[in-house]
A = this chain, B = another copy of it.
Amino acid sequence: MPFDRLEQDIKMMKEAGINCVRIAESTWSTVEPQDNVFDFKHIDRVLDAMYKANIKVIIGTPTYAVPTWLVKKHPSVLATTANGQYQYGARQKMDITNEHFRLHAERVIRKIMEHVKDHPAIIGYQVDNETKHYDTAGDNVQKAFVASMKEKFTLDSLNSAFGLDYWSNRINNWDDFPSTVGSINASLNAEFSKFQRKLVTDFLAWQTAIIKEYAKPNQFVTHNFDLDWRGFSYGIQTDVNHFDAAKALDIAGVDIYHPTQDHLTGIEISFAGDLARSMKGGKNYFVIETEAQGFPQWVPYPGQLRLQAFSHLASGANMVAYWHWHSIHNSAETYWKGLLSHDFEPNPTYNEAKTIGKDFQRLSSKLINLKKKNDVALLFSNEAQTAFNNFEMVFKTKYNDVLRPYYDALFKMNVGVDFIDPSVTDFSGYKLIVVPVLYAAPDELLERLNAFVAKGGHIVYSFQSGSSNENVKVRSSIQPGIINKACGITYSQFTVPENVSLKDDPFNVGAENKIHTFMELIKPSTAKVLAYYDHPVWKDYAAITENIYGKGLATYVGAMTSEKLLEAVMKDVVKKAGLWDVKQNLAFPIITKDGINSEGKTIRYIMNYSDKSVEMKYPFSKGTELLTNQKISKDEQLTLAPWNVKIIEIEGK
């Protein structure tokens, strides 16, 4: 901060309706300027000022960026990866398993907790920040990995399970175990990735346990998980097992960054929100970070900041927090701009935030704690992701590039989705499970999925589901492995489509009738073929099939399709699953989401993700639009201004 303006900042925060801030994160070098020398004056000052202003505080542990003195004293705290050891400078470059890092991290956390634990401004704690394993793979990590292997495998079972005979990689003595860094064995790579994800789970659980020793019963512990990054929050995070890591926490938190301006679709907000909500089994979550101005290309159009804020609530968020309050004047995130620009003056984005703050203050009792009951689940798997991505050279695509179009199709037709992962054993709440590229999975999971169909469930698989087992050994049984029973198909070959479409355009998508990247040459056994390939040679193979299995239906999509084509396929699936409803008659850019609030009322959001004004007949039960406090009845004409939102409290239960 170039000069002191705490009082002015708090005044402007209050004007914007901000009622909670997060502090202390990443301030290790300020809090502990030298080894075992502590200085809490900055924390104290802010805590007191916030308390006085009735702004709640979340204390973040400062451990995700290490101070200069620690690196000077213990250079090994910087992680060693396949590309060598990190240099000091950026955050998140430490080895989270390093003993010196752990000792010093524990001490600074305890010192902070001892100091702040009784402060009345604090409502909760955040452990670390967007923790991942940072590819740590040095000798100590390798040693721990081998120890974990010894617990799971004998040498014989290891060599056999991972096929290590190949290229003479066989390990005949545990002491011969080479570093995984040069490995070309996908099974070993996947196992090491799983081990690295467990390091993250363990690290967060360890920090949480320390915090819990000091925290009051009414204070929560959270963490801000982040997603696979493609310049924005894109998909499933490879480096963290979110469901596992979230177990230690009281409340799941998530950081959501997404395109805006002409590219704002609401998909990332919905995707990350559904994921965060699913981490703790449907519990409401915090959006701990999202953009205010963000990157230059993200400066929101008028109305977008509001639409975004309400979109988070519509997905079940109980907090929307911006990274960050004001733009900072030096270093890496200088142009990750906050609510305020560098000049600290009100600007269009801040001014719009003020309207959000006002509406939140007025309506939050109705809007928070929204509960959702979804009929549809999307099954993702870190194991499948790691394994599939290991073969990117073969499949020419990555896990999230297959998964996202399935999610996007459901989002665009207003189908509410929960995320589930292989640890979820109870499918009974769902009518339809969507399973993109479950490339690696244990028999048990696939058999459970078969049973779900047999009992009446609907399921959609993408290509390469069931291919390999939990050790990334390709199944030697008929493909698709095990699920061929429910799907009623087999294939033994697959190839790369060139100029391939679906014969006779069965889903009526015209110019969008296109296959790309990957196709399986499918033969139906009991399945009904929904689409054959249109190609001189492959024309007798099926592309998309469905199969009645027991009381249910299993659909299989054997190729990578255009987005529009997949949307048409999924529309058909949703209809056959009996889930087509009045909501589905709306469609992107009109998105509707709902839930039941604490008062037992249905709250319905209707959002316009476009720069065009949209006229529509309101198709739901009568209620009250909360932002305008106007009544609305079924079939009444409704106008949604560009980038606008309506929030209707439905009458009755």
* A273→B520 CA distance, assembly (Å): 33
Which residues of A from 260 to 288 have beta carbons under 8 Å from B? 261-262
Which residues of A from 25 to 59 have beta carbons under 8 Å from B? 26-30, 33-34
Instruction: Kindly state whether residue A230 has any CB partner on chain B within 8 Å.
Output: no
Task: Enumerate chain B residues within 8 angstroms of A468, measured Cβ to Cβ.
Answer: 329
Which residues of A from 162 to 197 have beta carbons under 8 Å from B? 162-173, 175-179, 181-187
* A477→B345 CA distance, assembly (Å): 9
Instruction: Kindly state whether residue A580 has any CB partner on chain B within 8 Å.
Output: no
Instruction: Kindly state whether residue A492 has any CB partner on chain B within 8 Å.
Output: yes
Q: How far is the CB of A159 from chain B (nearest CB, A)?
A: 9
Chain B residue nearest to A165 in the complex (CB):
B30
Which residues of A from 475 to 502 have beta carbons under 8 Å from B? 475-479, 492-496, 498
Question: 0/1 per residue, A338-368, Cβ < 8 Å to B?
Answer: 0001111101110000000000000000000
Task: Enumerate chain B residues within 8 angstroms of A518, measured Cβ to Cβ.
Answer: 296
* A69→B536 CA distance, assembly (Å): 52
> A86-94, A198-206, A602-610, A644-652: which one contacts chain B?
A86-94
Chain B residue nearest to A302 in the complex (CB):
B537
* A471→B334 CA distance, assembly (Å): 13
Residue contact B493 to A293, C-beta cutoff 8 Å = yes
- Of the candidates B27, B343, B394, the one whose C-beta lies within 8 Å of that of A296 is B394
Instruction: Kindly state whether residue A386 has any CB partner on chain B within 8 Å.
Output: no
* A559→B440 CA distance, assembly (Å): 50
Residue contact A479 to B343, C-beta cutoff 8 Å = yes
Task: Enumerate chain B residues within 8 angstroms of A62, measured Cβ to Cβ.
Answer: 168
Which bucket holds chain A's interface residue count?
A: 35 or more
- Of the candidates B69, B182, B537, the one whose C-beta lies within 8 Å of that of A86 is B182
Q: How far is the CB of A87 from chain B (nearest CB, A)?
A: 3
- Of the candidates B69, B175, B394, the one whose C-beta lies within 8 Å of that of A335 is B394
Residue contact B88 to A178, C-beta cutoff 8 Å = yes
Residue contact B391 to A172, C-beta cutoff 8 Å = no
Instruction: Kindly state whether residue A332 has any CB partner on chain B within 8 Å.
Output: yes
Instruction: Kindly state whether residue A152 has any CB partner on chain B within 8 Å.
Output: no
Residue contact B168 to A66, C-beta cutoff 8 Å = yes
Instruction: Kindly state whether residue A568 has any CB partner on chain B within 8 Å.
Output: no
Chain B residue nearest to A391 in the complex (CB):
B335
Task: Enumerate chain B residues within 8 angstroms of A181, measured Cβ to Cβ.
Answer: 87, 89
Instruction: Kindly state whether residue A333 has any CB partner on chain B within 8 Å.
Output: yes
Task: Enumerate chain B residues within 8 angstroms of A423, measured Cβ to Cβ.
Answer: none
Residue contact B68 to A171, C-beta cutoff 8 Å = yes
Instruction: Kindly state whether residue A473 has any CB partner on chain B within 8 Å.
Output: yes
Residue contact A27 to B165, C-beta cutoff 8 Å = yes
Instruction: Kindly state whether residue A2 has any CB partner on chain B within 8 Å.
Output: yes
Residue contact A166 to B331, C-beta cutoff 8 Å = yes
- Of the candidates B26, B262, B335, B496, the one whose C-beta lies within 8 Å of that of A167 is B26
Which residues of A from 573 to 602 have beta carbons under 8 Å from B? none
Residue contact B472 to A330, C-beta cutoff 8 Å = yes
Task: Enumerate chain B residues within 8 angstroms of A472, measured Cβ to Cβ.
Answer: 330
Known: A176-B69, A182-B88, A496-B296. Is A163-B331 also a contact (CB below 8 A)? yes
Q: Is the interface of A mostly helix, strand, loop or mixed?
A: loop
- The residue in A66, A88, A395, A492 that gathers the most chain B C-beta atoms within 10 A of its C-beta is A492
* A91→B299 CA distance, assembly (Å): 47
Task: Enumerate chain B residues within 8 angstroms of A167, measured Cβ to Cβ.
Answer: 26, 65, 90-91, 331-332
Kindly report how many copies of this chain are found in the complex they form together: 3
Task: Enumerate chain B residues within 8 angstroms of A476, measured Cβ to Cβ.
Answer: 2-3, 329, 342-344
Instruction: Kindly state whether residue A295 has any CB partner on chain B within 8 Å.
Output: yes
Instruction: Kindly state whether residue A611 has any CB partner on chain B within 8 Å.
Output: yes
Instruction: Kindly state whether residue A327 has any CB partner on chain B within 8 Å.
Output: yes
Residue contact B493 to A165, C-beta cutoff 8 Å = no
Residue contact B67 to A185, C-beta cutoff 8 Å = no
Instruction: Kindly state whether residue A232 has any CB partner on chain B within 8 Å.
Output: no
Chain B residue nearest to A176 in the complex (CB):
B68
Residue contact A169 to B68, C-beta cutoff 8 Å = yes
* A165→B162 CA distance, assembly (Å): 47
Instruction: Kindly state whether residue A653 has any CB partner on chain B within 8 Å.
Output: no
- Of the candidates B2, B169, B473, the one whose C-beta lies within 8 Å of that of A2 is B473
Question: 0/1 per residue, A532-552, Cβ < 8 Å to B?
Answer: 000011000000000000000
Task: Enumerate chain B residues within 8 angstroms of A493, measured Cβ to Cβ.
Answer: 293, 299, 337, 341, 347-349
Task: Enumerate chain B residues within 8 angstroms of A557, measured Cβ to Cβ.
Answer: none
Known: A3-B476, A342-B479. Is A331-B186 also a contact (CB below 8 A)? yes
Residue contact B170 to A67, C-beta cutoff 8 Å = yes
Instruction: Kindly state whether residue A428 has any CB partner on chain B within 8 Å.
Output: no
- Of the candidates B34, B166, B302, the one whose C-beta lies within 8 Å of that of A173 is B34
Task: Enumerate chain B residues within 8 angstroms of A65, measured Cβ to Cβ.
Answer: 167-169
Instruction: Kindly state whether residue A474 has any CB partner on chain B within 8 Å.
Output: yes
Instruction: Kindly state whether residue A415 has any CB partner on chain B within 8 Å.
Output: no
Chain B residue nearest to A346 in the complex (CB):
B492
11 residue pairs from A and B, CB less than 8 Å apart:
A27-B168, A30-B168, A33-B172, A67-B176, A89-B169, A163-B329, A164-B331, A186-B332, A293-B493, A330-B471, A344-B476
Return the 10 tightest CB-CB contacts between A and B, nearest first: A87-B182, A163-B330, A89-B182, A29-B170, A65-B168, A33-B172, A297-B496, A68-B176, A88-B178, A184-B332
Instruction: Known pairs A33-B172, A327-B474, A342-B474; list 18 more (Cβ under 8 Å).
Output: A26-B166, A29-B165, A29-B168, A34-B173, A66-B168, A68-B177, A86-B182, A90-B167, A91-B167, A185-B331, A186-B334, A295-B394, A296-B395, A296-B494, A296-B495, A334-B394, A342-B479, A345-B492
